[in-house]
Chain A
């Protein structure tokens, strides 16, 4: 599976991408929502996007809205990964079409739990 990691912090992108790669994802990165849209429009195919909220050029919420408006991208799972932690902001993100919401700071276990909920962590065969 392939994931798009969108964050204007290179460190954060590296951390999120590293956690996803540990779980078997290949990753591609973008520094803001517009760069991420450009990647998708150029034909980049991803199963999951992890999206920061506050970014220059295009914020994460606008990116979510734009992705949801395009039926060609309906299969992309969208997860906000952000410091924004107010109840109302989570409601807004879900209403815009985000499937999950992970608040920074988080542990690697938390990212795995969220992907589990989304059915994106391959189940291991019983031993």
Chain B
């Protein structure tokens, strides 16, 4: 069954107004697959019928459900690896080299979904900063539902299978019935809060901001506006980590791109300031500042300017392109 254009246009408008996420033509499959469970729950034959009911009933809770369904997605631990490797080998050593004392490091994990990213950051920082080091992570998402799971730190077997290195699993998790419970030590380092990227950033300033696989869903103007807010939320000399298919280049010129291994991170450039008095070990000096030019909208499923040399993955908390379907045997959970 396919959606009518009228249904798609209505849903896209609701999502855009409430989250600024653009659902472009071609994303009908996404709307259908995400809303079908809601439609069935309400006893409707399909998404068109469900949306007709939503439009006539005009209930706030229905609209919130739609936005939540379209902006939430599965995620994995240490997703894409490279950003966590950059945190370990370049960002923390870079900050250490520029400050006499690196204590109380503050990180913002934006669009954190069910918490795998902030917990992966916490595991990495615990390792790299050493015992007793203080750090805090503010983890935000638009969806209360995903934040509730993130706060609980409780994950299913299928969830812990996704990208969590076995040594980390035995170190930081304990069995809790059929699920796995993350250690309180990690939970205490993270504050979870509901936040819309279009609003003012959470209380900073931050040393590092993870904003991964989010910008690709916004139009150029919104990207620029979000990057401006993140810029103001970062300490001078801080770092911005974007997703594999994202860059500040062509969007916002107030960033210095720092090549790290085979990818990049970004540092805020402040008028009249020298961005990197002492570059992080292994980084290139004299990186060309981004020149603001008009750039075409980055399509959701494409990766025209991959900054990490990895397979582009679906977004953490946002609508995604379809992935290669898992075999039916896996979906059913093969055991022996």
Write the chain A residue with the least CB distance to B166: A101
Cα distance A110–B157 when bound, in Å? 11
Cβ contacts under 8 Å, B326 to chain A: 107-109
Cα distance A102–B161 when bound, in Å? 6
Cβ contacts under 8 Å, B302 to chain A: 127
Chain B interface residue number, banded: 35 or more
Q: Which of B81, B174, B303, B330 contacts A106 (CB 8 A)?
A: B330
Given contacts A105-B333, A113-B76, contact A126 B157 (CB under 8 A): no
Q: Which of A8, A104, A121 contacts B334 (CB 8 A)?
A: A104
Q: Which of B76, B167, B303, B307 contacts A94 (CB 8 A)?
A: B167
Chain A interface residue number, banded: 35 or more
Cα distance A98–B160 when bound, in Å? 18
Interface of B is mostly: loop
Interface core residue of A83, A86, A87 (most chain B CB under 10 Å):
A87
Tell whether, in the assembled complex, residue B166 and residue A83 are in contact, meaning their CB atoms are under 8 Å apart.
no
Residue B170 lies at the interface, judged by CB distance under 8 Å to chain A: yes
Interface core residue of B170, B302, B323 (most chain A CB under 10 Å):
B170
Tell whether, in the assembled complex, residue A94 and residue B166 are in contact, meaning their CB atoms are under 8 Å apart.
yes
Cα distance A99–B309 when bound, in Å? 24
Cα distance A105–B175 when bound, in Å? 16
Residue A120 lies at the interface, judged by CB distance under 8 Å to chain B: no
Name A's B-contacting residues (CB within 8 A): 7-9, 11-12, 15, 18-19, 22, 52, 83, 85-87, 90-91, 93-94, 98-110, 113-114, 116-117, 121, 123-127
6 A-B pairs with least C-beta separation:
A105-B333, A126-B306, A113-B163, A101-B166, A110-B161, A108-B326
Task: Apart from A7-B336, A18-B327, A126-B306, list 6 A-B contacts with CB within 8 A.
Answer: A19-B330, A94-B170, A107-B330, A110-B161, A124-B310, A126-B303
